[in-house]
Amino acid sequence: MTSLILFASFFAMLLIGVPIGIALGSASLVAIMYIPFLKPDLYALGLISGINSFTLIAVVLFTLAGNVMSKGGISKRLIAVADTLFGRAPGDLGTVTIMACLFFAAISGTGSATVAAVGLAMIPALVKRGYDRAYAGAMVASAGGLGVMIPPSVVMIVYAVAAGVSVTALFMAGILPGLVIALTLMTYNYFYRKQSSQVNLAEQRPAATWSEIFTVLNEAKLALIMPVVILGGIYGGIVTPTESSAVAVVYALVVSCLVYKELPLKNLPKIMLESAMLVSAVLVIIGASVAFGRIIALEKIPTELAQFVLSITENKYLVLVAIIVLLLIIGTFLETLASIVILTPVLLPVLTKLDVDLVHFGIVMIVALAIGFVTPPLGANLFMAAQVGEIPFERIARRILPWVFVLIGALLIITFVPGISLILPEVFLGY
């Protein structure tokens, strides 16, 4: 009965539009009041312990760093590099857009920041090149998901905390899957572009000269070095992932304010407030989910779920497919961070009994939920792309479906070939 009260009140509040963090906390309080031996103190303790984590400081700082970079001239220089190097490649400006998302993902840590930074510059350029505006928006929204798949990633940090795995191993495990997804998206765009009647051959450009390449690389050298500084420090054992987030903020501020001089110091308070507002919503979700998760544990839901699943089949791959379907469905209406902090403790017993590597599963889970970024009705990246591209949401929602199928195909490859995720941690970390 407690479980019924917990989930019924939670989904009821979601349906009437209550924010996810408030819904989690309120449902927990309702359930706590129903259990005689529990007191509301449990919720307060859960809220505090849930956010009292050294690792979660990285969520705050990487969010701030991404905001600074998107407004300090770093993102536009990365786009210029992508255009010069890949603008003449098959798929032309679509390839540039996806590569720009890949570059920016390596320093932003979030999907929405990647969509905003790249979409503002690339959607108008794609339309000018002959792309349908809704298609261009759908492309940016899909490629923006690389923001959480390529390290450093705020979502990876949250999963590492929830599952008790190494943040460094998870960061390293995300590199090759992110490249696989980017390559898959570029391949789809190439075939679409090849068959499209909108191609304007008169606008095809000659290959970039060595002088042009050198110029654009020289102008963007500090932006390109940033991922090396951040990730090199982590993988080299110089800094922890949390410490690297502080390095990212300082580096972004120095480059944006003092070198490029495109971010006036007077704008910093506004950027810090925007980042704090964004992170506060995330931390409320994480804190509220701890009390929610403790009630789930008291009700023995994870154990019973594991026994139920294993009573049906002990085939690891069938169970993974079933979990992926669950994640794809949940990702359509539940925010990614909330999904991770709610579902990870529930799924861990099943994964442990089936001997599924938790780092590999973390990548699978993050990619599956990231597809929810572009899937209506939630579709945070889809809304962002519609907003920055000035596209009616109905139009972009119709054009997103092929991209969703492409992303699901890449997800299945990553799921059934674990070596894509695990080879780098094994080679460099002895994982």
Please report whether residue 119 resides in a domain.
Answer: yes
Whether 180 and 294 map to the same domain: the answer is yes
Whether 123 and 67 map to the same domain: the answer is yes
Cβ-proximal residues to 24 (8 Å cutoff; 6+ apart), any chain: 10, 285, 288, 289, 291, 292, 338, 342
Please report whether residue 46 resides in a domain.
Answer: no
Whether 175 and 261 map to the same domain: the answer is yes
**pLDDT tens for residues 234-248?**
777 788 777 888 888
Whether 192 and 341 map to the same domain: the answer is yes
Please report whether residue 320 resides in a domain.
Answer: yes
Number of domains in the chain: 2
**pLDDT tens for residues 361-405?**
999 999 998 897 788 765 667 777 887 788 887 888 889 999 999
Please report whether residue 43 resides in a domain.
Answer: no
Whether 6 and 33 map to the same domain: the answer is yes
**pLDDT tens for residues 113-161?**
678 777 877 888 888 878 889 999 999 999 988 878 888 788 898 899 8
Average pLDDT over the chain reads 82
Which sign, positive or negative, has the C-alpha torsion 76, 82, 84, 87?
A: negative
pLDDT of residue 353: 85
Burial category of 300 from C-beta neighbours within 10 Å (exposed 0-12, middle 13-18, buried 19 and up):
exposed
Please report whether residue 397 resides in a domain.
Answer: yes
pTM: 0.76
Whether 152 and 285 map to the same domain: the answer is yes
DSSP E strands in 309-423: the ranges are none
Which one, of 195, 198, 170, lies nearest residue 360 by Cα? 170
Name the percent of the chain lying above pLDDT 70. 90
Whether 62 and 176 map to the same domain: the answer is yes
Whether 157 and 240 map to the same domain: the answer is yes
Whether 32 and 109 map to the same domain: the answer is no
Read off φ and ψ for residue 210, nearest 5 degrees. Answer: -60, -35
- Separation CA 425–CA 409 (nearest Å): 24
Please report whether residue 372 resides in a domain.
Answer: yes
State yes or no: pLDDT of 218 exceeds 60.
yes
Please report whether residue 71 resides in a domain.
Answer: yes
State yes or no: pLDDT of 272 exceeds 60.
yes
Domain, as residue range, for 24: 1-38
State yes or no: pLDDT of 202 exceeds 50.
no
The pLDDT confidence band at residue 201, using thresholds 50, 70 and 90, is: very low
Whether 231 and 267 map to the same domain: the answer is yes
Which sign, positive or negative, has the C-alpha torsion 280, 286, 291, 296?
A: positive
